[in-house]
């Protein structure tokens, strides 16, 4: 094990850190009892982490806290700041209009937590994607009134992807406000999860990356970045594998898009490679491993790759030391751990 550097030349700002308010946890537990929603992924993931299992209990205690528990974990592990967002699936499994009201309430609660610890937390605004006008309004309110630094989208919403233009007002708002939207994983929807579930491959082990990478590509192919060329979408987990696939996606999409083979696929203004380099930002959440981190910095650009821990889902203190030992000079480490997050989330020195 590599020891953590006790006196690094950089602050550590962790950028994909989850919070589930107590009220939302109650709503999750009610859904686990009633199974009102057809979402086997939710029932699998939260059926475990919302249970009495030791791993579930430890996670549940941490994820609901915005005060002493979380700050002690940060202090004990050299995390200076967290960018906090509503844990997956957030409000997105609920009726869209009710979910908008929940998002407002939880964003207020997050802002209050940040106000108690302004030097330790910034946050992202939740919204209800299937209530598009309200989603855009809430993102704007979150940024302009509550001081939040962007939006959190926990991927699909009850099997709906946001590539349909009717869901784009929230992206239009993000571009206008000049804030990013973090496209965070979800378990695959009912229409996709079956082949994952039997062997336990539905969640963070692999299903998250397939599902979220798919969502990112659907947005791109739909032309969202032609409509909103300055829009910035953040991908965790070293880009859900997309940087690795960039050359093949770029080649294949450039051919597919000019064939008229698919009714809903048209040529785009830029190449897939350009969108992946110009409209996406990346974090290493859940991937404390030098090769893919260095690869993303290399093929995307070092100014677009940020540190994240994925607390408390992957709360592995030893990984902080592993990240301190990345093969980078001090300036590059400062950019990775601190500088990029300060620029992207507007965190003052
Ligand atoms: Mn996460």
pLDDT of residue 55: 87
Two tokens at 142? 């979150």
Residue 278 pLDDT > 90: yes
Strand (E) or helix (H) holding 97:
helix 96-116
Distance between Cα 184 and ligand 1 center (Å): 6
> Residue 241: pLDDT band by 50, 70, 90 thresholds?
very high
Distance between Cα 17 and ligand 1 center (Å): 6
Interatomic CA distance for residues 192 and 211, integer angstroms:
8
Distance between Cα 144 and ligand 1 center (Å): 25
Distance between Cα 83 and ligand 1 center (Å): 11
pLDDT of residue 96: 98
> Residue 263: pLDDT band by 50, 70, 90 thresholds?
very high
DSSP-assigned beta bridge partners for residue 82: 14, 121
Of the chain, the percentage scoring pLDDT greater than 70 comes to 100
Distance between Cα 101 and ligand 1 center (Å): 23
Distance between Cα 214 and ligand 1 center (Å): 17
Q: What is the mean pLDDT of residues 250-256?
A: 97
Q: What is the mean pLDDT of residues 225-240?
A: 98
pLDDT of residue 1: 74
Q: What is the mean pLDDT of residues 253-276?
A: 96
> Residue 8: pLDDT band by 50, 70, 90 thresholds?
very high
Is the CB of residue 122 less than 8 Å from the CB of residue 114? yes
Is the CB of residue 215 less than 8 Å from the CB of residue 162? yes
Is the CB of residue 90 less than 8 Å from the CB of residue 343? no
Active site positions, annotated: 310
Distance between Cα 255 and ligand 1 center (Å): 34
Report residue 17: phi and psi, to 5°: -115, 130
> What average pLDDT does the structure give for the chain?
97
> Residue 51: pLDDT band by 50, 70, 90 thresholds?
confident
- pLDDT, one tens digit per residue, over 99-130 is 999 999 999 999 999 999 999 999 999 999 99
């Amino acid at each position: 094990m590599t020891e953590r550097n006790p006196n690094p030349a950089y602050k550590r700002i962790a950028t994909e850190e989850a919070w589930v308010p107590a009220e939302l946890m109650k709503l999750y537990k009610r859904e686990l009892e009633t199974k009102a929603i057809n979402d086997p992924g939710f029932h699998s993931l939260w059926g475990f982490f919302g249970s009495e299992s030791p791993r579930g209990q430890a996670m549940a205690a941490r994820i609901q806290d915005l005060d002493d528990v979380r700050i002690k974990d940060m202090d004990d592990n050299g995390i200076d700041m967290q960018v906090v967002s509503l844990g997956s699936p957030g409000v997105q499994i609920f009726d869209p209009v009710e979910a908008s009201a929940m998002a407002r309430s939880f964003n207020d609660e997050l802002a209050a937590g940040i106000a108690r610890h302004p030097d330790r937390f910034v946050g992202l605004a939740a919204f209800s994607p299937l209530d598009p006008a309200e989603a855009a309004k809430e993102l704007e309110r979150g940024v302009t009134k509550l001081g939040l630094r962007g939006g959190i989208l926990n991927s699909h919403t009850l099997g709906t992807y946001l590539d349909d233009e009717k869901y784009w007002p929230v992206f239009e708002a993000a571009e206008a406000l000049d804030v990013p939207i973090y496209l965070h994983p979800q378990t695959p929807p009912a229409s996709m999860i079956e082949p994952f579930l039997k062997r336990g491959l539905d969640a963070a082990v692999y299903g998250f990356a397939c599902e979220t990478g798919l969502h990112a590509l659907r947005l791109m192919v739909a032309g969202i970045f032609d409509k909103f060329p300055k829009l910035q979408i953040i991908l965790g987990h070293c880009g859900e594998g997309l940087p690795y696939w960039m050359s093949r996606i770029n080649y294949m999409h450039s051919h597919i898009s000019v064939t008229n083979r698919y009714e809903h696929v048209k040529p785009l203004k830029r190449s897939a490679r350009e969108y992946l380099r110009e409209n996406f930002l990346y974090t290493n959440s859940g991937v404390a491993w030098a090769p893919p981190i260095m690869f993303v910095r290399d093929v995307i650009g070092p100014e677009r790759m940020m540190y994240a821990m994925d607390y408390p889902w992957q709360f592995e203190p030893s990984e902080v030391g592993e990240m301190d030992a990345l093969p980078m000079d001090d300036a590059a480490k400062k950019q990775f751990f601190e500088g990029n997050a300060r620029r992207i989330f507007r965190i003052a020195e």
